[in-house]
């Protein structure tokens, strides 16, 4: 069985992963409006990743005999218009996710739930990848800044990104 407080904390994280999916869905639309379809594809993959992160946590609560406590998902607000501004927000968002995962791990640690700690290690590693991936896009965007030709070339590259369903835990 999963401890009630930890079940609540896991449920909050599920809500936040679904919020991430919602945020990236909106951002995908912004890139579609800019006709940057490779970037839109990058977000499409990201949307699927966030769904997988949420599903991993949901399955885990069930596997521990718990009940998922669902809540409404807030409407994300977008803080910029340009690709750089959007990706700066993505990076800030992923850093927030990282700190939430760390807090969740600490809660599991405090009640000595070793199984939950072990499970959450996957999410800790995943956040390293998430931040690194976003940082890479942001660095490239800053490098090519006002070069429209380079932006279109990079857009083509991002069109190649594909979703690989992860094995979580
Ligand atoms: Fe679920 O990692 Fe991004 O938000």
Per-residue pLDDT of the chain (169 residues; tens, 9 = 90+): 999 999 999 999 999 999 999 999 999 999 999 999 999 999 999 999 999 999 999 999 999 999 999 999 999 999 999 999 999 999 999 999 999 999 999 999 999 999 999 999 999 999 999 999 999 999 999 999 989 999 999 999 999 999 999 999 8
Q: Classify residue 149 by burial, with Cβ atoms within 10 Å: 0-12, 13-18, 19+.
A: exposed
Instruction: Identify the pLDDT of residue 135.
Output: 98
Whether the predicted model's global pTM rises above the 0.95 cut: yes
Do residues 61 and 68 lie in contact, with contact meaning Cβ atoms separated by under 8 Å? Answer: yes
Domains in the chain: boundaries = 4-158
Instruction: Identify the pLDDT of residue 35.
Output: 98
The gap from C-alpha 144 to its chain's centroid, in whole angstroms, comes to: 25
Do residues 128 and 37 lie in contact, with contact meaning Cβ atoms separated by under 8 Å? Answer: no
Do residues 134 and 91 lie in contact, with contact meaning Cβ atoms separated by under 8 Å? Answer: yes
Instruction: Identify the pLDDT of residue 169.
Output: 84
Residues with a CB atom less than 6 Å from ligand 1: 17, 20, 50, 53, 94, 97, 130
Instruction: Identify the pLDDT of residue 32.
Output: 98
Is the CATH number of domain 4-158 1.10.40.50? no
CA of 40 to the centre of ligand 1 (A): 17
CA of 112 to the centre of ligand 1 (A): 25
CA torsion angle 10 12 16 21 (round to 10): 70
Query: Residue 157 to residues 26, 37, 83, 150: CA-CA distances in angstroms?
Result: 21, 10, 15, 11
Mutate which of 15, 20, 58 to test ligand 1's pocket (most atoms within 8 Å of Cβ)? Answer: 20
Query: Residue 5 in 3-state DSSP?
Result: helix
Instruction: Identify the pLDDT of residue 90.
Output: 98
Instruction: Identify the pLDDT of residue 54.
Output: 98
Q: Which atom of ligand 1 is nearest to the CA of 16?
A: 4
Do residues 37 and 155 lie in contact, with contact meaning Cβ atoms separated by under 8 Å? Answer: yes
73/164 Cα distance (integer angstroms): 25
CA of 78 to the centre of ligand 1 (A): 16
CA of 57 to the centre of ligand 1 (A): 12
CA of 17 to the centre of ligand 1 (A): 6
- Atom 3, ligand 1: which residue's CA is nearest? 94
């Amino acid at each position: 069985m999963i401890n009630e407080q930890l079940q609540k904390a896991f449920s909050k994280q599920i809500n936040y992963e679904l919020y991430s999916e919602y945020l990236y869905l909106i951002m995908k639309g912004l890139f579609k409006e800019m006709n940057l379809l490779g970037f839109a594809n990058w977000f499409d993959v990201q949307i699927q990743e966030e769904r997988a992160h949420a599903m991993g946590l949901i399955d885990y609560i069930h596997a521990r005999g718990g009940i998922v406590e669902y809540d409404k998902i807030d409407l994300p607000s977008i803080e910029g218009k340009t690709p750089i501004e959007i990706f700066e927000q993505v990076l800030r968002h992923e850093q927030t996710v990282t700190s939430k995962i760390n807090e969740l791990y600490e809660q599991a640690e405090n009640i000595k739930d070793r199984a939950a700690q072990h499970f959450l290690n996957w999410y800790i590693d995943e956040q390293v990848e998430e931040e690194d991936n976003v940082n890479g896009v942001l660095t490239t965007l800053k490098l090519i800044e006002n070069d429209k030709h380079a932006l279109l070339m990079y857009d083509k590259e991002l069109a190649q990104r594909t979703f690989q369903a992860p094995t979580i835990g």
